[in-house]
Amino acid sequence: MSLASLRSLLMKVVVIGVGTIGRDVIYWLATGLLLTTEIVALDTSTAALDTAEEYIRALFAKAVKRGKMTQEHADSCMARIVFTTQYEDVDGAGMVIEAATEDLSLKRRIMTEVAGIVGDRCLLCTTTSSLRWSDIFAGNSNLRRCFILHPFTPVWRTLSIEVVGSGDADTTQRFCELVRSLDKMPLMVQDRAGFAGNVLFCGLMHYACMLVQKGVATVGEIDLVLEQTALQKGPFWVHNYIAKLGGANPNEITLHAVREMASGIGDHFTPSTLMVDKAAKGTPWAIDEPSGMVHERFVKLQTLLHAIIFGLAVELIASRIISAADLNFLTQEALGYKSGVIDMMREFGDLAALFDLLEGLYEGEEVLVPDWKILLHERIAGAIFGG
């Protein structure tokens, strides 16, 4: 299928599910697609549709106020968004983007119903952040049109978007070109739980919770050290911020991703009791203000947290989930790193020395870091530091 042929499918695009991600996707498409494109926002909840419409109108109003677009253009974009609860309105779509809750049975049911309505050329996409392509699209009779299209919050601002291809190399290449034409940077990832972004984002939160539960560090200490050495904002602060935006509980989303990673990658991602309890309660994290944190303790925590980040990153590259260059771009552009994680590792220089230092600093203490030394093979080090 040529790029021109794919573009012709974008005269009508349907987004199913208008929660935190879905409503952002709708705004992104409304501002990025031609004004001749019809955008259908589909959800079974009229309340969710009302909330999404109010949210999207507010984004347009903010864009006009900041001089990003004229009121006339904003009105034209908003006018072509159709809010509906009827699956019949999917008929005639050239592209369907499913953005419903992270529930495998639900996503399968949606894709099965949609496939029975749309034509054979319609592109079927899901924004899942952790479920596998092979599980969601199992049983689909035309797999070459099926893609994972995992964006990052806020969708309308971040460039990075993870793509799991359809298995057809030519169609996947054209699909990525189509995504680029919508002002996104498609990052190819392999079909494994959590892909790359969630392994780093949710994986770091997972280990942070482990460290708090074991009494190794407080919530505030972890955020403080990471904000001063690696991230724009700490993981606990980010979860609280996302919760304030409304929509799904971010702690529940992270817990779901970590459970998928535990099942699909390894038991070291088995979630802590602390993470499970926080997701169930739905309350924000109480971020303490660390006072009088001595230099020695700061260095110990910095070493431990960087080892966790680097270990997760090295495993992703070693497993060929994502390229080193794409991972470097993703972490700085979409995950809030001050510099790309590969740049961070290059600056450190010797990862083996980092893990030796970690053992020395925490000698006799139980710190919950998997044994990633085996990943520091010369071949992997060469892939990271070789240029």
User: Is the domain of 165 the same as that of 220?
Assistant: no
pLDDT value for 91: 95
282 shares its domain with 310: yes
C-alpha 300/C-alpha 362 separation (Å) is 8
Whether 36 and 157 map to the same domain: the answer is yes
Looking at the structure, do residues 233 and 165 belong to the same domain, yes or no? Answer: no
Supply the pLDDT for residue 142: 86
Q: Are residues 141 and 123 in the same domain?
A: yes
Do 181 and 209 lie in one domain? The reply is no
Task: Show the low-confidence residues of the chain (pLDDT under 70).
Answer: 1-6, 349-387
CA atoms within 13 A on the CB side of 299: 8
What is the pLDDT, as a whole number, of residue 374? 43
DSSP at 69: S
Same domain, 232 and 345: yes
Q: Which amino acid is present at 379?
A: R
pLDDT of residue 361: 60
CATH number of the CATH domain containing 213: 1.10.1040.50
The range of the structural domain enclosing residue 374 comes to: 197-385
Mark whether 183 and 304 lie in a shared domain. no
- Final residue in a domain of this structure, among 146, 165, 188: 188
Q: Which two tokens stand for residue 322?
A: 């994502």
Judged by DSSP in three states, 216 sits in coil
CA distances from 293 to 224, 231, 232, 288, 368 (A): 10, 19, 20, 12, 22
Query: At which of 188, 211, 240 does a domain end?
Result: 188
Residue 45 CA to residue 38 CA, distance in Å, equals 21
Say yes or no: 290 and 182 in one domain.
no
Output the pLDDT for position 365. Answer: 62
What are the beta bridge partners of residue 95? 13, 123
Q: Do 358 and 226 fall into the same domain? A: yes
**pLDDT given at position 180:** 92
Please report, for the domain that includes residue 7, its CATH number: 3.40.50.720
Say what the pTM is.
0.89
Q: Are residues 203 and 172 in the same domain?
A: no
From 142, 159, 188, the end of a domain falls on 188
Instruction: Provide the token pair at 147.
Output: 């893609």
pLDDT, tens digit, 9 for 90 and up, residues 64-121: 999 999 999 999 999 999 999 999 999 999 999 999 999 999 999 999 999 999 998 8
- Number of domains into which the chain is organized: 2
Asked if the peptide bond before residue 154 counts as cis, ω within 30 degrees of 0, the response is yes
Stated as kind and residue range, the H or E segment containing 353 is helix 351-361
Sheet with 160-164, side-by-side order of all strands: 81-84, 38-42, 12-16, 95-98, 123-126, 146-151, 160-164, 185-188
Pair 145, 226 in one domain? no
Q: How far apart are CA 365 and CA 20, in angstroms?
A: 40
- Where would I find the beta strands (DSSP E) of 195-237? none
